[in-house]
Amino acid sequence: MPEYQSKIDESLKATKDDIISFIQTLVQSPSLANDEGHVQNIIFEKLNQLGLATKKVPVHFDAIQDHPAFCDDGFSPDTRTNVVGHWKNGQGRSLILNGHVDVVPTGAEALWDESPWSGSVKDGRIYGRGSCDMKAGLASGIFAIQVLQEIGFKPNGNVMVQSVVGEESGGCGTLTNIVKGYHGDGAVILEPTSLKMSPIQSGALTFRLTIPGRATHAAMRWDGVSAIEKFNRIHQSILDLEKHRHQSFEVQYYESPDRVAPINIGTIKGGEWHSTVPESVIAEGRFGVFPGETAQDARDAFESHIQNISNKDTWLKNNPPVIEWFEGQFESGQTLVDHPLIQTLTDSFVQTVGDAPILEGVTYGSDLRLFTNHAQIPAVLFGPGDVRLAHAANEFVEIEEVLTCINIMANMIINWCGGSIE
Ligand SMILES: [Zn+2]
């Protein structure tokens, strides 16, 4: 409804200082995993001020640990809370605006120009850990509501803000909301996508591969079996598998179609002593899952690959490597690009910006999979900030991009839920 656009623009201009200082306040509240309570209080207060029906939702592992998508992140099983606020007026379509408040560790503080928690504003940017991933995104959803309230708009449906914990470590926050039945007709997850629309994400499965050898004195190494040499062969075959899988999956909408589902060996431990033939290698890594591929199919593909390669080697055939799947088991997820949610977001983007948005799949995990795979809620990642800055030193978000996002999300609420100015 373009007749609202000039009002939105005006209201946004008047709210700009408020927006910046709110994001600064969020960044200045360090909210590492398991320590999200303080920042959640700030969000709770803000949603209350906007008159949303707001609740703190306890995140208890008891309630979610039997769910197939549960990942135990090793943090507190019962002290964390989500915040959920409803802006509800009519019976039209509902829209979830989801964002996580947990941030990743800062890394060496010496690499930062200022404290990672400074929230300082410089050259049109807000700096600090979590500015880009994703406190500015979450704030964009909240201020889209505020801007619409200021022009007297009322949606004909429920706009639900979900401020969640534990995304970076496995998704216990969003999973809790799903298990508790917080449902919507669509979800925008305001992750930093540089305002590209990402309705598709790859998955990632953490594995441990134990390769056996046979120890003996190095002086008689031919009598032993080096697990490190066996690992080298297997590692090379894993790189070939990665290439082969990219050839056999047809993938659209990715920036690099040959880099959709990487397989990475992240750690190796092997051998005990320089003059002993190594008895075992333990390698841990991350196995990428293609969009449309189930996690089980991906696990099967890896296991049968390791079995096939082992069968070609007499030692490994008789002493097969062992694969364990542990910690993060993130499925891929997707919403079809012709779904009305994606169409409506496209329209809202065009209305605000003029050009059409870029549609692109992402290779990292996010809460999107929980919505699409476990709640039948169509979902899309869309928000301000460049994900390449997200876990780095001197993380920042461009203020202009935040304002554009708020503008687009205000239009998205109007277009998706309907409603009117009273
Ligand atoms: Zn994030």
Do 58 and 114 have their domain in common?
A: yes
Residue-level pLDDT at 1: 53
Q: Which member of 36, 73, 102, 284 is catalytic?
A: 102
Residue pair 166/75 in contact by the 8 Å Cβ criterion: yes
Domain boundary residue among 329, 364, 392?
A: 329
Number of domains observed in the structure of the chain: 2
Active site (annotated) includes residue 9: no
Do 315 and 344 have their domain in common?
A: no
Residue-level pLDDT at 310: 98
Residue pair 95/413 in contact by the 8 Å Cβ criterion: yes
Residue-level pLDDT at 50: 98
Active site (annotated) includes residue 78: no
Cα 132 from Cα 234, distance rounded (Å): 38
Residue-level pLDDT at 163: 98
Residue-level pLDDT at 2: 62
Report the separation in Å between the CA atom of 108 and the middle of ligand 1, taken as the mean of its atom positions.
20
Report the separation in Å between the CA atom of 416 and the middle of ligand 1, taken as the mean of its atom positions.
24
Domain boundary residue among 314, 329, 344?
A: 329
3-state secondary structure the chain: CHHHHHHHHHHHHHHHHHHHHHHHHHHCCCCECCCCHHHHHHHHHHHHHCCCEEEEEEECHHHHCCCCCCCCCCCCCCCEEEEEEEEECCCCCCEEEEEECCECCCCCHHHCCCCCCCCCEECCEEECCCHHHHHHHHHHHHHHHHHHHHCCEEECCEEEEEEECCCCCCCHHHHHHHHCCCCCCCEEECCCCCCCEECEECEEEEEEEEEECECCEHHHHHHCECHHHHHHHHHHHHHHHHHHHHHHCCCCCCCCCCCCCCEEEEEEEECCCCCECCCEEEEEEEEEECCCCCHHHHHHHHHHHHHHHHHCCHHHHHCCCEEEEEEEEECCEECCCCCHHHHHHHHHHHHHHCCCCCECCECCCCCHHHHHHHCCCCEEECCCCCHHHCCCCCCEEEHHHHHHHHHHHHHHHHHHHCEEEC
Cα 228 from Cα 329, distance rounded (Å): 27
Residue-level pLDDT at 244: 97
Report the separation in Å between the CA atom of 170 and the middle of ligand 1, taken as the mean of its atom positions.
11
Do 320 and 338 have their domain in common?
A: no
Report the separation in Å between the CA atom of 415 and the middle of ligand 1, taken as the mean of its atom positions.
26
Residue-level pLDDT at 328: 83
Do 267 and 313 have their domain in common?
A: yes
Do 19 and 105 have their domain in common?
A: yes
| All residues at 6 or more sequence positions from 81 whose CB lies less than 8 Å from its CB, including other chains | 36, 37, 40, 56, 57, 58, 59, 165
Domain boundary residue among 297, 329, 361?
A: 329
Report the separation in Å between the CA atom of 168 and the middle of ligand 1, taken as the mean of its atom positions.
7
List the domain range (segments joined by +) for residue 373.
Answer: 2-200+332-421
Q: Which member of 73, 133, 167, 386 is catalytic?
A: 167
Do 352 and 290 have their domain in common?
A: no
Do 243 and 343 have their domain in common?
A: no
CATH, residue 381: 3.40.630.10
Digitized pLDDT (tens) for each residue of the chain, 422 residues in all: 567 999 999 999 999 999 999 999 999 999 999 999 999 999 999 999 999 999 999 999 999 999 999 988 889 999 999 999 999 998 999 999 999 999 999 999 999 999 999 999 999 999 999 999 999 999 999 999 999 999 999 999 999 999 999 998 889 999 999 999 999 999 999 999 999 999 999 999 999 999 999 999 999 999 999 999 999 999 999 999 999 999 999 899 999 999 999 999 999 999 999 999 999 999 999 999 999 999 999 999 999 999 999 999 999 999 999 999 988 889 999 999 999 999 999 999 999 999 999 999 999 889 999 999 999 999 999 999 999 999 899 999 999 999 999 999 999 999 999 999 98
Residue-level pLDDT at 73: 85
